[in-house]
Structure 1
Amino acid sequence: MIVVRNFRYKGGEIDIIAKKGSKLSFVEVKGRKVLSFGSAKEAVNYKKQERIKEGAKLFILKNNLDENSFDISFDVISIENNSIEWVENAFT
């Protein structure tokens, strides 16, 4: 179930926050029409990953959630050449 779309915070945005059972997923969606600058998955570099993790912490604090009661997942959905790939636990 999608909990929030486009969660904005100082320093960035998380595209989708979803919950299924005890799993709380923070999802980055990237698309590429041209791969000359790398794949969509490659666009989620270390710096972007750190921003997403910071945003996840802020979301958890803002919503008074106990992070220990969830299995946290950082996922990437890449859209390239009319195909969609969902990479669960893309980074930690």
Structure 2
Amino acid sequence: MHVSSALVALAAHFAVIVRVLTYRKNGARHRFHVAWAAWVIVAISGGSAIELLFHPKPTGFFHAALAVLLAVLVYLARGNVARLLRSDEA
């Protein structure tokens, strides 16, 4: 169970990294805080992926589920971190 959870988490982290790095803004303006948030997402997902690759340890279901949830949210936003941070309540 732990190996499969680790592989699921690793795949989800790589999916997040790839999707955020391949986002094309198509004319959207550059926002400093959104760029930093994207950098943090890539850095944390990358660090988690590197840790899972080079320092294997048991990974629980909830760690894998959290990584998959983040990947799903990033893919639903098409890699647009501004969309992840947006709140329609104003």
Q: Which has the higher contact order (CA 8 A, sep 6+)?
A: 2
More strand by share: 1
Return the TM-score normalized by structure 2: 0.31
Which structure has greater helix proportion? 2
